[in-house]
Amino acid sequence: MFIAKWTPTARKQYDALCAEARARHEARDVSHKTKSTKQEGLFKQVRKALGLLQSNPRHPGLQTHEYRSLPHPFDPAGKVFEAYAQNKTPGAYRIFWCYGPDKREITIIAITPHP
pLDDT in tens, 58-106: 999 999 999 999 999 988 889 999 999 999 888 899 999 999 899 999 9
Cβ 70 vs Cβ 83: under 8 Å: no
Cβ 74 vs Cβ 100: under 8 Å: yes
pLDDT at 8: 96
CA distances from 54 to 3, 62, 84 (A): 7, 11, 14
Cβ 37 vs Cβ 28: under 8 Å: yes
pLDDT at 63: 95
Of the candidates 1, 7, 13, the one whose C-alpha atom is nearest the C-alpha of residue 72 is: 7
Q: Is the pLDDT of residue 115 over 80?
A: no
Sign of the alpha-carbon dihedral angle for 50, 53, 56, 59: positive
CA distances from 14 to 5, 44, 67, 77 (A): 13, 11, 20, 27
- For the stretch 8-49, pLDDT in tens is 999 999 999 999 999 998 988 888 888 888 899 999 999 999
CA distances from 22 to 51, 89, 111 (A): 19, 22, 18
pLDDT at 23: 93
CATH numbers and ranges of domains, the chain:
3-113 (3.30.2310.20)
pLDDT at 79: 94
β-pair partners for 3 = 105
Q: Is the pLDDT of residue 6 over 80?
A: yes
